[in-house]
Amino acid sequence: MAAIDPGRSSRVALVEITKDSLRDYLRLKVAPSQEGFVASNAVSIAQAHFHPEAWFRGIAAGATPVGFAMLEDWRQCPESAPEDWRREPYVGLWRFMIDQRRQQMGFGAQALRLLIDHARAVPGTRAMFLSFVEGEGSPEAFYRKLGFERTGEMDEDEHVMKLAF
């Protein structure tokens, strides 16, 4: 995929990662200070191939790869779903990143709104959940701006947030 430098007005889309675009998405990196907040795209894509509940997409601004997102959607394998999903069907934001060179351009907010719209369109879904690692530079404020609120729960060392539908 030929990278054209996207501008702030570039429209964001969630795109399938193909054999032709894979390397472009593997090259994306968060800033060194953010590396403790999200796994690499290579690890995420590898995990997705072993987890039937994983749904992943590249984030493109115009035709340029700028990020990566992966959702947890148990509809694809309800027999393996955790008990909390059976009580309250949800979509989980499993991974989300914007390349360090493309941050602060509005691409993350556009992409997360698209992911929220995708989750809302899943029949029976009542909420979207995510978790984050606390610390300087954590994405909590970004998620709060888009309506997520802390639940008070922890997932190992990560704080859980919810957006109710």
What would the pLDDT profile of 33-77 be if each residue is shown by its tens digit? 999 999 999 999 999 999 999 999 999 999 999 999 999 999 889
pLDDT average, residue stretch 14-39 = 96
Paired strand residues for 93 = 71, 130
**SS3 (DSSP) at 68:** strand
Question: End-to-end alpha-carbon separation of the chain, Å?
Answer: 36
Domains of the chain and CATH, by start = 12-164 (3.40.630.30)
Distance CA 161, CA 96 (A): 14
Question: Using CA atoms, how far apart are residues 80 and 153, in angstroms rounded to an integer?
Answer: 22
Mean pLDDT of 4-11: 85
Nearest-angstrom CA–CA distance, 11 and 81: 34
106: left (phi over 0), alpha (psi -120 to 50) or beta: left
CA 151 to chain centre: 19
Predicted model pTM: 0.93
Separation CA 134–CA 11 (nearest Å): 30
Whole-number pLDDT of residue 3? 55
Query: Residue 4 has what pLDDT?
Result: 66
The 10 Å Cβ neighbour count of residue 57 is 20
